[in-house]
Amino acid sequence: GMEFDKWGLPVLNERTLQSTIPNVLFGGDAAFGPKNIIWAVAHGHEAAVSIDKMLSGEDPNDRPLPAVQMISQKMGIHEWSYDNAIDPDQRNKVPWAPAEQTLTNIGVEVELGFDPQLALREASRCLNCDAQTVFTGNKCIECDACVDICPMDCITFTDDGEEAELRQRLTAPALNLTQDLYVGGDLKTGRVMVKDEDVCLHCGLCAERCPTGAWDMQKFFLEMTHAGPQCRSPGRKAA
Ligand code: SF4
Ligand code: SF4
């Protein structure tokens, strides 16, 4: 029979969403307990991939990779992407309907959502984390223009070294060890470019100032692979 855990939920393979009876799959709240609708939709897609693979005689544990694309996003026509100022505002709270209504009538939606004005304000707190700085060492002429313009002093051209020591001798020491350093080589002088990802604002000024295109701002797109021919072998394999 089917196995259940101490919470009464089915024991599942977290990758394939198969239960201990492999052709019975679960998703949504019935899979791992209460989550939100986004998880439920994702479970549905992942379970569909498992079913597609089983029907195609493939191992459902062999998951298809997502497609990843980086697309150049320098200013000019993409100027609007960099519109957001750095804003110390706290996150805006989503307004709730009065408790006397929501507690007495289960049909009343608790979260009212933002009005257009508040939604715009909330969206403008976005720090463009999807626009990444991408460095191409063999295009760099080591003019230091990006170092000069960076408002956060997070770019340093220096000799290579062990990470712990390198972190200390950057223009602004990189003290947050949970954030990787971005190190780019292939420079004509044999030095390396080191960027502290922890403090980068994704403002795009380095890419705008760079005379050779060694810095580029590239927007990150992730497209999950859904059920269908593309999830089967030899399907989409390159990330
Ligand atoms: S995007 Fe802005 S903050 Fe980040 S490295 Fe470039 S200039 Fe500095
Ligand atoms: S501005 Fe461009 S060419 Fe100049 S040092 Fe920076 S990356 Fe290299």
The amino acid at 148: D
pLDDT of residue 238: 46
pLDDT at 129: 78
Q: For residue 53, what are the contacts with CB-CB under 8 A and spacing of at least 6?
A: 59, 60, 62, 231, 232
Nearest alpha carbon, ligand 1 atom 6: 206
The number of C-alpha atoms within 13 Å of 33 and in the hemisphere containing its C-beta is 5
Distance 42 CA to ligand 1 centre (A): 34
The secondary element (H helix, E strand) that includes residue 194 is: strand 192-196
Residue 48: alpha-carbon gap to chain centroid: 24
| Ligand 2 contacts CB of residue 146 (under 6 A) | yes
What is the complex's ipTM, to 2 decimals?
A: 0.98
- Reduced DSSP (H G I as helix, E B as strand, rest coil) percent helix, strand, coil of the chain, to 5: 25, 15, 55
* C-alpha–C-alpha distance, residues 135 and 64, integer Å: 29
Query: Which tokens is 144 given?
Result: 């230091």
Residue-level pLDDT at 235 = 66
Q: Is the CB of 141 under 6 A from ligand 2?
A: yes
pLDDT of residue 134: 94
Please name which ligand lies nearest the alpha carbon of 86: 1
| CA pair distance 194, 171, nearest whole angstrom | 10
Per DSSP, what are the bridge partners of residue 155? Answer: 195
Q: Which atom, in ligand 2's list, is nearest to the CA of 135?
A: 7
Which domains occur in the chain, in start order? 1-63 (3.50.50.60), 87-126 (no CATH), 131-223 (3.30.70.3270)
Phi, then psi, of 194 in degrees rounded to 5: -120, 130
Whole-number pLDDT of residue 239: 44
Q: Give the integer Cα–Cα distance in Å for 9 and 29.
A: 9
Q: Is residue 186 lining ligand 2, measured as CB closer than 6 Å?
A: no
| The token pair that represents 24 in the structure block | 């019975």
Give me the tens of pLDDT residue by residue for the chain, a chain 239 residues long.
899 999 999 999 999 999 999 999 999 999 999 989 999 999 999 999 999 999 999 999 999 999 988 888 877 777 766 666 666 777 788 999 999 999 999 999 999 999 998 888 887 777 777 888 999 999 999 999 999 999 999 999 999 999 999 999 999 899 999 999 999 988 999 999 999 988 888 888 899 999 999 999 998 899 999 999 999 987 655 44
The rounded distance, in Å, linking the Cα atoms of 73 and 77 is: 9
Residue nearest to atom 4 of ligand 1 (CA): 200
- Answer whether 184 contacts ligand 1 (Cβ < 6 A): no
**Which pLDDT value is given to residue 19?**
97
